[in-house]
Amino acid sequence: MKKIIIATKNRGKAKEFETMFTKYNIQAVSLLDLDNDIPDVEETGSTFKENAALKAEEISRLLETPVLADDSGLVIDALNGRPGIYSARYAGEPKDDKANVEKVLAELKEVPEENRSARFVCVLAVAIPGEKTLFRTGYCEGKIQRQPRGENGFGYDPIFVPKDYDRTMAELAPQEKNNISHRKNAIVQLEDWLKSLS
Ligand SMILES: O=c1[nH]c(=O)c2ncn([C@@H]3O[C@H](COP(=O)(O)OP(=O)(O)OP(=O)(O)O)[C@@H](O)[C@H]3O)c2[nH]1
Ligand SMILES: [Mg+2]
């Protein structure tokens, strides 16, 4: 089975890549799976694309092998696009999913049903030594719920209800999320490259 390094230290993301890549006969290996202490890449970019490039290119340079990175987040219209690229640490350091959810719910307290639209965005960057970095973007449209519900997934999943669903992303089974997610919608656009590996 071919392996591909995913430049992430996020357990939730790593699991989703692992599951979704088995279909292509590819083993997704995250930075959490590697023994060596790989430093955190500073996400100093001002877009998902810039941050995805930073993560993929830095780790690819370090390991001298092709690397895929995912920079993703939740874009809420009523908050002018926040938390956006700051989704992971919206409520501050250290990263805390529960505190992030609470902060978003507090900010949306006065916002009525019809103005709670949002989308998850995922930008994938593939860095290959000596080649130009490749980018793909996936979206998942939905709206923000008033109360967290569900135990699956990670991040903002308990308050995000995907379009045409009445359950939150955290109430969907993992395979249901993996059918409609922003990550899935970005991965399918890499299909040709993934198939060329396996
Ligand atoms: O409910 C969610 N379901 C998802 O499917 C999802 N995908 C992204 N996010 C949020 O956006 C941040 C990414 O930030 P991010 O791309 O910098 O990743 P990260 O810092 O968590 O790990 P790394 O990959 O950088 O190591 C995450 O932490 C989450 O808060 C999600 N929330
Ligand atoms: Mg990050």
Residue-wise pLDDT tens digits, 4-25: 999 999 999 999 999 999 999 9
Dmax (CA) of the chain: 51
Q: Which of 70, 71, 97, 164 is catalytic?
A: 71
Domain with 43, as residue range(s), is: 2-197
> Is 11 annotated for ligand binding?
yes
Residue 48 — very low, low, confident or very high, per pLDDT cuts 50/70/90? very high
ipTM exceeding 0.85? yes
* Catalytic residue check, 166: no
Tell me the pTM.
0.97
Candidate of 57, 74, 124 to mutate for ligand 1, largest count of ligand atoms within 8 Å of Cβ: 74
* Ligand located closest to 177 CA: 1
111-138: per-residue pLDDT in tens? 999 999 999 999 999 999 999 999 999 9
User: Domain count of the chain?
Assistant: 1
**Chain CA centroid to CA 127, Å:** 17
How many Å apart are CA 71 and CA 177, to the nearest integer?
18
3-state helix/strand/coil string of 47-88: CHHHHHHHHHHHHHHHHCCCEEEEEEEEEEHHHCCCEHHHHH
Task: Report the CATH number at residue 131.
Answer: 3.90.950.10
- The reply to whether 130 sits in an annotated binding site is no
**Atom 17 of ligand 1: nearest residue by CA position:** 71
Name the burial class of residue 189, with classes exposed (0-12), middle (13-18) and buried (19+) by CB atoms within 10 angstroms of its CB.
middle
Task: Check the CA dihedral 73-77-81-82 and report its sign.
Answer: negative
The Cα-based distances of 29 to 21, 37, 159, 168, 188 in angstroms read 10, 14, 29, 28, 19
Angle, CA of 172, 173 and 179, to the nearest 5°: 85
